[in-house]
A and B are shown apart, each in its own frame.
Chain A
Amino acid sequence: MKITVTMPELKKGMTSAVLCRWNVEEGQQVKKGFELFETETEKAVSAVEAEQDLTVLRLLADEGDEVAVGAPLFEAETAE
């Protein structure tokens, strides 16, 4: 199934975060728990893990972009 992963609300009330680093590239298969990308907001660094096994199809944001909560980050294919 094709899904679009969006910027999560990593902290209550957060409106956006800077996408600091991609740890995946297009075409990469990752297991649940893999750290997909890292963000920073209010001097706090957070890594976001895959919630399920997936294949990254297309990255939709660049490192350094400020991405709003709910805005698309990447498209992926999952098993179900």
Chain B
Amino acid sequence: MKKIESTRRDPAFNLAFEEYMVRNTGSDEVLIVWRDSPAVVCGRFQNVFRETDVIAARERGVPVLRRITGGGTVYHDEGNVNVSYITRKGPDGIDTLLLPEKLAAALGRIGIPAEVGGGSDVTAGGYKISGSARAAVGDREIHHATLLFDTDLDALRSLTSSVSGDAFVSGGIASRKSPVANISAFLPGTSTDEFVGAVKAALGGAYGWQTEDGFDLFAVSDLAGKYASDGRTYGENPKFAFSGKCETARGSLTLSYESGKGAIIAVRAEGAFAEQINKLAGAPLAPGATHRALTEAGVAEPDAVLLERFILTGKT
């Protein structure tokens, strides 16, 4: 088994490294442990606008990315430890519990009362401490899990709560919310670095680990460009419909639109700014890009800021 700890904290690089390894490695098994700087990471087929406040994320300087595996939206920071496990596809399809069971056993060996529960989560003391998701790629499969060790739970809750479930009426795989806790509560006085060392030893042994530097970093960096792009996060958003109402300086606006491939396909606005907003068919849906489209349609500041927030989050 190849055992790798990525020394990088760039979420786009690490998501790309995961994909690169599942597509290119010849090893029967690969284990990757990594951490990211703060980022919101949504599942492969989620409606990112329903899962996170993309405007709030931009204001906090937190990138929003779309990973290769399914499942729900998670928050990464340096207190969250990611584990990826790559193996050959089994004859009975992807084993949902493969990685959660490995993680629960490993955590048990380092003194945490962990058990598999709530689907493919790992829990301790009744709280979710790890979530996981998977993807089949060719003849291989990748299993990815988070381990909440010392994550900023306030940031996690504020950035991964549903934005406005009423406004986004369809589209994509919805996240399932669970009460979460940090593993550090079970290991007082332990640093995240010490925890990572313990997890590595419990999952793959203390020796034989390498870093990402032994691989084709040019190829990974190319792929990272894709993960960091609006085309990936927003352009690959599933089809959805939006319906909502807001108050503006010029009165009420009632808006409905349909979206596909990261753009507005059809739009119908009534009330304030209706003339300008009804020109948005074909406009991209992404922070910044939607603002530019509003400006080009003739909406001035500060109304463009308010309307972009409403279009992308369902609230003002």
- The residues of A with any CB-CB pair to B shorter than 8 Å are 9-12, 14, 18, 20-21, 38, 40, 42-47, 63-64
Contacts and interface: CB of A to CB of B under 8 A. Distances in A.
Interface string B22-59: 00000000000000000000011100000000000000
A40 B120 CA distance: 15
Interface string B57-84: 0000000000011111000000000000
A38 B236 CA distance: 13
Contact of A20 (B44, B68, B71, B96): B44
Counting chain B residues whose Cβ lies within 8 A of the other chain, the interface size class is: 20 to 34
If over half of B's interface residues share one DSSP class (helix, strand or loop), that class is named, otherwise mixed; here it is loop
A45 B69 contact: yes
Interface of B: 43-45, 68-72, 92-94, 96, 119-120, 132-137, 170-173, 238-239
A79 B96 CA distance: 37
A40 B136 contact: no
Contact of A12 (B68, B69, B92, B132): B92
B238 A44 contact: no
Given A20-B45, A43-B132, A64 B92 contact: no
B96 A45 contact: no
25 contacts: A11-B92, A12-B93, A18-B45, A20-B44, A38-B44, A40-B70, A42-B94, A42-B120, A43-B71, A43-B133, A44-B70, A44-B96, A44-B133, A44-B135, A45-B45, A45-B68, A45-B70, A45-B133, A45-B134, A45-B135, A63-B238, A63-B239, A64-B171, A64-B172, A64-B239
